[in-house]
Every structure is written in C-alpha cells, then in structure tokens.
Structure 1
Amino acid sequence: MSTAEVSVDIDQDWTACGQCGVLLYRKRFARLAHVCPECGWHQRLTAPERLDHLLDPRSGRAVEPGPTAVDPLAFHDRVPYRQRLAAARAETGLDDAVLVARGTIAGRPVVVAVLDFRFLGGSVGTAAGEAVVTAVDTALAHRLPLVLVTASGGARMQEGALSLVQLAKTSNAMAAMDEAGLLTVTLVTDPTFGGVAASFATLSDVIIAEPGARMGFAGPRVIRQTIAEELPEGFQTAEFLLEHGLVDDVVPRGELPQVLGVLLAAGSGHPAPEPGSIGDSSVGGADLSGSVGGSTVGEADLAGAGPAGGPTVTDPDLLAPRPVEEVLRWARDTARPTVGDHLANWCDGFVALRGDRAGADCPALVVGVALLGGRAVVVIGHRKGHSTDELVRNNFGMASPAGYRKAVRLMRLAAKLGLPVLTLVDTPGAHPGPDAERHGQAHAIAECLRVVGGLPVPVLSVITGEGGSGGAIALAAADRVLMSEHAIYSVISPEGCAAILWRTSTATAEAATALRVDARSLLRLGVVDGVVREPAGGAHTDPAGASRLLGEAVRHALDELCALDRDRLVAGRRARFRDLGGISAFDHGRLPGTGRTGE
C-alpha cells in the first residue's frame, strides 16, 4: 500500500493531504480533481469519479458486461468469498472491479474501462475480465479507440485458475484491437501490479502514468517475502518506469484530457489539412502565416523553388555551390532549429512518447504523435540541442540501440493506425561505444531499416543538419528524402574519412569535397529528391524563418505522398533505393529516381 493512500478527514469542509498533510478545502480539492496544490499528490479516484473527470460532460453511457459465474470455487478463507463480494458491492455500489462506458474525450468518441481499487483491491476475476473484454468488443463493434485506466493488486486469488486465465483472455482481446488497427491507451494509476500489469495494462499502444503511480509484476510485499530483498526508494514508481523506458510519459491529472485528446485525434480519424500554412501552432505560439518569430520570409527566399511554388528545389543547377568549409560549419551550427523548435512551430498538438519497452529510453531521439494542420503524423527526430548542457544530455544527437528500438515501435504504431511517418534527421551518427555494442547497435539499426522499408504508410524524411552514416539512414529509407539547403549527408564524417584514407586530420575539406556531402551534389546524384531553401546566411541566422520554410516543404510533400496509392508504396520505396547508383541510369545520361540529366 502507498504511504500516502488517502486524504485524512478533518470535518465536512476540510481534509488533509495524504502526503504533505496540508489542510485542503474540500470544494477546491474536488475542483483540482483531488490533486494537492502544495505537493502534487494524486489521491485515488473511484471509477465513477474517473469517468466524470475524463469524459466530456454528459457524454458517458454505461456498457454492461455479460454475466459470469459467482464464487466458482465456493472459496472460503477467514471470510467466505460471497460475503466479501457482498461487502464490496455495498461499499462501492459497483457489481465488480471494472466499470465500462462509451463517451467522448475532447469531442472524440472512445470506450473507457476503469478499474476501481476499492473493489477487492481492483483484483481481476471472471467478472472483471469479462468487463475488459466487453470494452474491447464494444470498441471493435463501433471501431473506436480504447482507454484503460488501471488500479489493481492483480489476479483475484479467490477464483483460482479461472482468475489466472483472464490474463490470456484479456491479452487476446488486445491482440484483436491490434489486428483491427484501433488505438489503445493505458492510464496507469496507483497501484497496478500482478496479472493486470502482465496482460492488458502493458499491451496498449501508448502507456501513460499519473505521478507517483506504481506498476510492476511483483509488488514490494511479494518481493520481500519471496527473495527477502528490500526495494530501493522510488522503485516501480511512474518516474522510475519512465526513466527505464517502460511507459511513454508521466502526466499530471489535470493535463490528461488534453493529452488524450491529441492521441484520440490520431486514432479515431481526423480532417484533411486546410490549404495554406501547416498549422496555427498552439504549442509554440508562432504565427506561420507570414511573420514567424519576428522574421518575415519573402519571395526572394523562394527563388528557384520547385514548380509548386514551395521552398523545395528539385533542379541542382538552381543551387549555388558553396565552399565546403562553410557547408560543414553551417550544417553543424548549434543555432540551427532543432526537432523541438520545428514541432513547436508546426504543431496543433504533439504528444511525445518514450521508451523501448525493454528497460531503456534514449534522449537523442524524439518520437511521438503530432497534429500538423489537422493531419495526424508520427514524428521521429534526432535531438541535439542549442547549449553544451543540452548536447551532452542528448548524447549530441547520437541515438543508442534503445533509440532505434523506440523508433521501430512508433513506426509499427503508424502502420497500425494508418498514419504517415515524418523523420527529421540530424546526427553525427549512431552512438558508438561498449554499451551500444553490448545492447546490439548494429541489429537495432538493421531492424529499423527493415521496418521502415516495409511500412504500408507514406514515409517522408528530411535531413535537417547532419546526416551521419548508419545512424542517419536508419531513419531516412523513405518514399521521399528532402534535405535542408545547408545540411550534409554522408557515409562517414569527413574527419573520419580523412583520418582513414588521407591519414591526417588536416584533409577534412578534401574528404568532404570527395564525398559530395553537400545538398547540391546529393540532389544531382539522386540520393535526395529535393532541397529545402534556407534563409540567406543559413538556418542558424534566422531559425524561425528556416523552420517556416521547412514546414511548408513538409506540408507539400505530405499532401503529395498521402494522395498516393498505399498498396504500391512499399514496392515504390524499395524500387527507389534499388535504382540508386544503377549503371544503366548513368549510361543513359539520367540519374536514378530523379528524371534529371546528369553531368
């Protein structure tokens, strides 16, 4: 049991926080959804309270599960099981531990199943298992997303093996949601242990947790009794789970409806994007319809753009050559806009997701679901930073195996929900070192390439700064690859090439020239399909303007890719990469994948 389980009653008007002990006015405490304003402690909610908090007002409708056996084992310990059931029903007003309802969250239709810890510790027996499966059946019948709110000690011992098999029953139901391509979300509340954690609770596409909520297979008491080991402080808490890649986020109760609204928009249909700007961005507060963060992008910035009038150049002859030293310096400038800057400027909403579900998260990769101009998109991007502290914290944008496994998880979610994938590449390369090797860096990159190559949804990739080696191509095996005007893309860093082939660090410029790392050369080779203009002087001189130009290019490209026949996407993507470097294309004076005449 939590040391801060419930508030302490003082009188009818006042109560005390169960964690910090501060006096709380009951009406204000209720308005705050039973979250202490002083310490942030989240008091447990009953299932009816939870539905009232999550669902839009007057939208909830109860869903009744089918009948199940009562006391199938005629179980009797200190108190007969039937007597325990009767007491729980009288105390809670519920038939069993799970309450199911249909309703809307942020206007989006959804099915919600909530476990109530008051009912025999939220334990799952035949009736609770049937209720969870009924929620799934309802979601399948109406093609709706499913939200599960967990609070449970695990399987119900008084029903023996019939309780145990509910793990398989509910897990099969979750698999049916996967097969139907319907979004599932778990909200972990305190506590969630045992068979619930080892079945439907952790099989959702997205797992979020309330602050301080605990989740694990074996609870502290079981661990202590089984192996006589005391757990360290904070073990199995939401924050511990987030650090170890086992949940996507820890979300305070007051923010849950907004976060769920963005996720449900991605999972339950969304309007086509409006022509014009990529979005009004409630996240970054930037106006994308002209002046962006004080910087106006004019017609001169778009000179030489593609035939659609956007900022993407498809003819390499329209790009001026630049000194290679300048190209390298501009591509790596820490003032260039990062993935976070772009998302803040472009998005109507963004929910970051975290973790590889195997014990780790990688800060060098940002992944999540974004709403861009009304279109839901899965975004995967390398994260560097602007300051030394940010760069160090994010491993300089060099992803670990956990990062690429996290990316694969999001790619598979995109395939399930039918969402396009946008990758933003800016990395010197995959993270090197003993830990990365021990955890299978090569395998993680290879699996990423295999999965992205076979995704049945549009994939757009943009090289925004550095595109280094396997760490970059893992996210860039796309239907269309764009490149920022002053970015670089190469099989190895120029410094590494100079050290190996020239055997001197002074030959970096010569190596960069020979490798053709610049956008103009790569467009001519057909490695990239278009180059996105940057403001005069480079993206680092006008980050907001650069982000606006890139956002316009992304919008145009997504519009085109999402209009393609999805049954032919995979074949076309694989053909694109097979053709690159083909000798017949050069023999005929054409460059593969571009339709342009080569030199």
Structure 2
Amino acid sequence: MTVAPERPAFLDRPADRPTDWLRCRSCRGFVYRARYEDELRVCPSCGAHGRVEPEPRAAQLLDPGSVAPLPVPAVPDDPLSFATSHGGYAAELDRARARGVDEGVLCVRGTVQGHPLIAAIMDFRFFGGSMGGAVGERLTRAMELALRERTPLLLVTASGGARMQEGALSLMQMAKTSRAMADLDEAGVPTVTLVTDPTYGGVAASFTTLADVILAEPGARMGFAGPRVIEQTIRQRLPEGFQTAEFLLAEGLVDGVVQRSALRPALARLLRMWAARPAERPAGEPDITAPAATATASGAGLLRRAEEVPAGDAWDAVRLARHADRPTTLDYAGYLLEDFQELHGDRMTGDCPAIVGGLGTLDGRTVMLIGHEKGHSTRDRAARNFGMATPAGYRKAARLMRTAAKLRVPVVDLIDTPGAYPGLEAERRGQSIAIAESLRLMSRLPVPVVSVVTGEGGSGGALALGVADRVLALRNSVYSVISPEGCAAILWNDATAAPEAARALKLDARELLRHGIVDAVVPEPPGGAHADPAAARAAARRGCWSRSTRSRGVDPARLVAERGRRFRRFGT
C-alpha cells in the first residue's frame, strides 16, 4: 500500500528572511540555520524533528570514518513499462536521479563505539521512500549480509509505502524482506528499527515492525493507512496525536521514543548488550541446572534447606511482602543491571504498566529482566494497577521471552503481584488465554530461566512468570493459590480470619522450600527488604542472580527436559 502522508513539521526557508534563517512548520518560530544543523535538525523552540538524509544520518549514528557503502545491485528500472497520460515511470526516475539521489535507501556498514553494524537508511526524497524492486533488493541483500556475518542490523525507515509504478512486483518486496527478517530471527542476529517521520503502508507492514527492538523519534508517524485515508473511509474524527510515536508507545506498538541526540547512545547500549552474549559457557562456570551452593557463614548465600530459614509467622510474612517500600523490579534493575534498556508494549494492544522488562548486563553478561512492578507512592501504585497485570502485560512478557530465546540470553523473572488484573476489559482481551500461553511458552523456552518471588506471589498471575529452571524466594515473600483474605472469605466465611488462612496455606518462604515449590531462599536484612533496600539488593546479587544467570553452553533440549521434570513431580 502506498500512502501520501500529510505535510510534516520540518523547517523551511522563509521568503522574508535571509537564506541563513529557517522557519519551523510546527511552531512557526525562526531558527538560525547553523544552530539548526548543530541541533541535529531539531527545532530548539518546540523540539520538532526535521528530516535527515541518509548520509548525514549515518554520520550522526556511526563512528567517524567507519561508514562504508554496500555494493549496489543491478535491478530493472521500469519492469512494467509503466506510463500514464502524464508521462512514464522511466522518465520520472531519470528526473529524480538528476537531483542527486539514486534510490530510496542507502545501505552501509560501520561501527558504533567500535561495535560492528549494518544499516539500511531510507531516503524520503526519492519517490517518498517508497519500496520498489531496487529498494527491496538492497534491503534484502543488507539483511543477507548481516546473516552471513552475524552482524546486528539497523533499519532507519522513512516511507510512504510500496511503489505504485511497479505494481504487484512492489508488493512482493514486503514478503521478500519479511522472509529475510525471519532468517535473521532463526539465526539469532539482533535487529533494531528506528522509525522516522513518516513510515507508512507496505514498509510499516513488513520489515519495519519485525525487528527485536523498535525505537521512534519524537513525533514520527507510523501506520498502514494514513489519517486522511482513515477519516475518509470511516467518516470519523481521529484523536489528537494519532499514529505519532507517542501514541504508538502508549498503544504498545514501539519500545521507546528517543530524542535524536540520544539515539547514538541508545544504539551503542543495545550493541554492547548484544556483544555480551558468549556462544558458550566458559570452562568452570556454574550450570544453571546444577545444585546451588548452600548459605555462607555470613548468611549472604542461598538457603537450600527449610531448617536454615528462620521460623516466623505466615501473616507477618504477608504484611512484609506487601510493604509499599519493598524494592520493586525497576529498583532491582537500576541496582543490578548495567545498560538496562526498558522495552515496551506487546505489539498488539497496549503497554501494561504492571509488568516491566528489558535487556541489561549482569556481571558483564546480557540478561532479559521481566517482572511485576507495583511502584511505591499511592499514585504510582494505582497507575500500575498495584502490580496486577492485564493480558497486554503477559503478552509483553511473552514477546520479551521470545526475544531472549532468539538472542540466546537467560531470562530473570521477578514476581510480585496480588494476582492478575480482574477487570472487564481484561476478560474481553483474554486474560485466561494470555496466562495459559505464557505458561506454555515458558515451559519450552530454550534458554535458562530463573524466577524470583520478591514480594507477593498471587495465584496464576504470579505463576505466569514462574515456570523456570530454578525458582527462588526472598525470605519475606509469599506464594499461594489465593490471597489469605480470599481463602478466609470462602472457607471460613470470614475475611478477618486471614491470618489463620495464611498459616493454613503454608505460603511463607520456609514452607515453600519445605514443599519444593522454591529451590532456595534468599536472606533479607532484619525487618525486611524495605528496611535496608541496599543490603537486600546486595544480598540478591551475591546470593542469587549473579550465579544463577551465568549459564552458557547448556543444551536447550536438556534445559527444557529438566524444567519439565521439575514441574512434573508436583502432586506425585
């Protein structure tokens, strides 16, 4: 599909000013041309991002002196001999090339902070960046080169869609490029898309949205059909900001909106993490499926026998597990991980704030961290549904786990939720199906998985992140089929019997270890993790995650089989 996008907010030379001044089409303010270029073509008054041609874009993103164009394949210029009463396609091509642009994409290789990268940068100046045979072939050859060399691929998009003058042959480029992206997925080659304004039609509906990570510049628009087409078709007024990067982020369709000045650091961060993925486990490094060490004399290690866990009241554990100041997933991410890049959205319906996740490095090794997020303040906890995830949250987690499997990096899941969100919209979106699909996916993930109950482990909403090779629990965490209040209301007909129900449910860490629900317990500081968050996070690093996620070279079939046996034994 080809879309004629509306006029974007970029800068143009005003007729009443000298040529060294520009006027922003967004805020109508004036800006000195030299400053505009220094600001990477971003309006200093309103932040509107102007278009950038492929050559300066490559210079902005890649290391100086590292950029080298890839060979240009020869393809038929006018395969349909397309002509109208206004003229022929071949003549239009000649006129476009006479302006100094040979096609709608430039493919290069280079480095970012020394990390190799292959980049395909689309050029809206040439037929609106539309995808014909030449663009599709250049893109596919860049993808094939990335596949052969196992080099990460960057796609910078700017397009109105497929090129009408090449008919169905242009349409076929969608399938060709999508197949090449599938080959990269199968081989575990990382891919990232940078969406720039505009990205529409067949380009958006093929390779653009198939990358592992999708970033977008502020205000960049992406969609299959443009706003005018939609409004004319459905006769409805579209919401403000429809199809902009910010809208796409809120709807769970992109991973992040990044200012142009921050794009190169963000790209470097991803490349560093992707480079920290050794192909196999070095000799002598512990295996995630092997028995873990017992507690150290200082108590900083893992407790593997119930007798080692200090006895306590189950209801006290429930109250400590629910404490508003208890460290959350984002707290642990900020302390434990370097280069953490949060990823957003399920690429389908939304970005549930109750589940967060992303890539980061732990002791120099890349991991995918996923967890429930409650927040601390009343406002933040309410905004995050108190850690109760919607179907979009579980589908976001599943997307990140599939990405981890592709990139062959371990998954660390942090569990802290009263349960899945019990709302009308959640049921409409298939809450039960989303949880069931997560359980099935985790049971077959071909990479190491560690789940840690850091607070509340409530019912199926917790188990959806709990099918792991090793399941650990913080000392004052709880894990149960139902909340004590719910159990008391049903079996005692009295919600005030919750403390008694908590003891009967055997939901505290000591009892969970005794029954084999968890494999080990992580000690907490006196008074609970919230009493000394720094000590709690340090204990977690020393006693659990820094060892549990360093497995490499474990046969995937063995991992899956051992995980299956772990859960098969319950109830026998």
Query: What does residue 439 of structure 2 align with?
Result: 449
Equivalent positions of 1:98-117 (< 5 A) are: 98-117=105-124
User: What is the deviation of 1:547?
Assistant: 1.4
2:289 matched residue in structure 1: none
CA, structure 1 residues 307+124, in 2 after alignment: closer, same or farther (shift >3 Å)? farther
Measured in 2, the distance between the counterparts of 1:163 and 1:238 equals 26
User: Are residues 560 and 579 of structure 1, via their aligned partners in 2, closer, same or farther at CA, if it must alter by over 3 Å?
Assistant: farther
User: Which residue in 1 is equivalent to 2:285?
Assistant: none
Q: Which residue of structure 1 lines up, in the alignment, with residue 417 of structure 2?
A: 427
Q: Which amino acid aligns with 1:8?
A: R
SS in 1 for 2:87: coil
Match of 1:129 in 2: 136
Cα separation, 2, equivalents of 1:160 and 1:47: 26
- Partners of 1:80 and 1:519 lie apart in 2 by 75
Which residue identity does 2:465 align to in structure 1?
L
User: Which of 480, 505, 521 is the matching residue for 2:511?
Assistant: 521
Amino acid at match of 2:466: A
* Structure showing greater relative contact order (alpha-carbon pairs closer than 8 Å, 6 or more residues apart): 2
Q: In the TM superposition, what is the alpha-carbon distance from 1:559 to its structure 2 partner?
A: 4.7
C-alpha displacement at 1:132, in angstroms? 0.7
- Residues 168-208 of structure 1, C-alpha deviations (whole Å, 9 max, x = no match): 11111111111211111111110011110111111112211
* Aligned counterpart in structure 1 of residue 97 of structure 2, from 71, 82, 89: 89
Displacement of 1:55 in angstroms is 0.9
1:327 shift after superposition: 1.2
User: Residue 457 of structure 1: CA displacement?
Assistant: 0.4
The residue aligned with 1:200 is: 207
Counterpart-to-counterpart distance in 1, 2:123 and 2:247: 24
Q: Number of paired residues?
A: 554
1:434 partner letter: L
Q: Distance in 2 between matches of 1:208 and 1:560?
A: 29
Question: Equivalent of 2:460, from 458, 464, 470?
Answer: 470
The answer to whether the 8 A contact 1:7-1:43 is kept is: no
2:539 to 539, 549, 560: 549
- Structure 2 equivalent of residue 285 of structure 1: none
The offset of 1:402, in angstroms, is 0.8
Match of 1:39 among 24, 32, 46: 46
Taking the aligned partners of 1:97 and 1:160, their CA distance within structure 2 comes to 17
Q: Contact 2:131/2:163 (CA < 8 Å) preserved in 1?
A: yes
Residue matched to 2:179: 172
Partner residue, 1:55: 62
User: 1:91-146: CA deviations, max 9, x gaps?
Assistant: 2x332001001111232211110111011100111101111101111101111111
Residue number in structure 1 paired with 2:291: none
Residue 555 of structure 1 deviates from its aligned partner by: 3.3
Deviations 1:384-403 (A, max 9, x none): 01111011100000001111
**Residues 144 and 268 in structure 1, CA contact (< 8 A), matched pair in contact too:** no
Match for residue 530 of structure 2? 540
Cα offset for 1:504?
Answer: 0.4
Q: 1:512 aligns with which of 496, 502, 513?
A: 502
Q: Do the aligned residues in 2 keep the contact of 1:272 with 1:375 (CA within 8 Å)?
A: no
User: Do structure 1's residue 141 and structure 2's residue 131 form an aligned pair?
Assistant: no
1:362 partner SS: coil
Cα deviation, residue 308, structure 1:
11
RMSD: 2.2
**Aligned equivalent of 2:7, options 2, 9, 12:** 2
Q: Is the 8 A contact 2:253 2:347 kept in 1?
A: yes
Q: Tell me what 1:596 maps to.
A: none
What is the alpha-carbon distance in structure 1 between the residues aligned to residue 29 and residue 336 of structure 2? 42
Q: Return closer, same or farther for 1:555/1:328 CA change in 2, 3 Å cut-off.
A: closer
Q: Secondary structure at the match of 2:490?
A: helix
Letter in 2 for 1:414: A
Aligned to 1:245: 252
Distance change in 2, residues 1:269/1:331 (3 Å): closer
Q: 1:430 to 1:55 in 2, by over 3 A?
A: same
User: Is contact 1:193–1:215 with CA below 8 Å preserved after alignment?
Assistant: yes
Q: 2:288: which partner in 1?
A: none
Closer/same/farther in 2, CA of residues 509 and 225 from structure 1, 3 Å limit: closer
**In the alignment, what sits opposite 2:82?**
75
Report the more deviating stretch, 151-160 or 25-34.
25-34
- 3-state SS of the aligned residue for 1:520? helix
Match of 2:334 in 1: 344
Are 1:73 and 1:159, in contact at CA under 8 Å, matched by a contact in 2?
yes
TM-aligned CA distance change 1:332 to 1:226, over 3 Å: closer
Give identity over the alignment, percent.
54
Normalised to the residue count of structure 2, the TM-score between the two structures is: 0.93
Pick which of 239-248 and 77-86 moved more. Answer: 77-86
Residue aligned with 1:313, SS: coil
Deviates more, 1:12-21 or 1:111-120: 12-21
Contact 2:338 2:360 in 1 (8 A): yes
1:349-364 aligned at under 5 Å gives the runs 349-364=339-354
Secondary structure (helix, strand or coil) at the match of 1:104 reads strand
Structure 1 residues 138-161: Cα deviation after superposition (integer angstroms, max 9, x where no partner): 101111111111100011111111
Q: Any idea what the Cα deviations from partners look like across 1:356-393, whole Å, max 9, x if unmatched?
A: 11122211000111122221111111000111101110
Q: TM-score, normalised by structure 1?
A: 0.89
Tell me the amino acid that sits aligned with residue 410 of structure 1.
L
- CA–CA distance in 1 between the matches of 2:550 and 2:20? 60
- Cα distance between partner residues in 1 of 2:481 and 2:565: 21
Q: How does 1:185-196 map to 2 (within 5 A)?
A: 185-196=192-203
For structure 1, which runs of at least 5 residues remain unmatched after alignment?
Answer: 276-303, 583-599
2:356 alignment partner in structure 1 = 366
Q: For residue 527 of structure 2, give the secondary structure of its aligned residue in structure 1.
A: coil
